[in-house]
């Protein structure tokens, strides 16, 4: 957790990576650490409006954020949830970059960090059943494609 709170900057390819906007919730009833895995370019270009000529022009920007993936680590459950950022930080890329940052925080000396996805649904459902209570659940269900309506009919009826 200290490595998350005081993460180093890791240069991989043409981008730098670090953990930003960290919230230390280790003293809460359910301890947590929240942060954002951030991917940025040392030098980038953005479009700005030149009011005089009323046109868009390029301007250089230092440490231009390319993508940011929020995550929460729950040490009590040894679990982490993170957001897949389309065309930015994909779900297979997040664990590799997070690992590189955590290991770099310890100078890559006798340290290892692995994030394993939930693959065994029985074990996952057993873990869920062991939780005493939920304080909040949020979900979005999008209407199905009309071409496949008959396949989604029972869900559609349940939602109604």
Query: How far is Cα 40 from Cα 4, in angstroms, rounded to an integer?
Result: 17
Q: What is the pTM of this model?
A: 0.71
- Interstrand relation of 79-82 and 55-74 (parallel, antiparallel or unpaired): antiparallel
The torsion region of residue 128 among left (phi > 0), alpha (psi -120 to 50) and beta comes to: alpha
Are 18 and 27 spatial neighbours (Cβ–Cβ below 8 Å)? no
- Interstrand relation of 15-25 and 32-50 (parallel, antiparallel or unpaired): antiparallel
19 CB-contact burial (10 Å; exposed 0-12 / middle 13-18 / buried 19+): buried
Query: How far is Cα 90 from Cα 32, in angstroms, rounded to an integer?
Result: 23
Whether 106 shows a pLDDT value over 70: the answer reads yes
pLDDT digits (tens, 9 = 90+) for 14-73: 999 999 999 999 999 999 999 999 999 999 999 999 999 999 999 999 999 999 999 999
């Amino acid at each position: 957790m200290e490595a998350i709170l005081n993460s180093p900057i890791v240069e991989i390819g043409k981008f730098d990576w670090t953990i930003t906007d960290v919230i230390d919730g280790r003293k809460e009833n359910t301890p947590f650490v929240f942060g954002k895995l951030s991917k940025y370019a040392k030098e980038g270009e953005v479009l700005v409006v030149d009011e005089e000529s009323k046109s868009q022009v390029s301007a250089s920007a230092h440490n231009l954020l390319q993508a940011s993936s929020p995550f929460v680590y729950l040490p009590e459950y040894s679990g982490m949830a993170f957001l897949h950022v389309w065309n930015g930080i994909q779900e297979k890329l997040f664990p590799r970059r997070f690992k590189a940052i955590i290991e770099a925080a310890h100078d890559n000396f006798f340290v290892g960090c692995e994030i394993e996805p939930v693959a065994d649904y029985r074990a996952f459902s057993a873990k869920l059943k062991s939780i005493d209570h939920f304080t909040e659940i949020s979900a979005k269900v999008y209407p199905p494609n009309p071409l496949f309506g008959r396949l989604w009919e029972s869900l559609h009826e349940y939602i109604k």
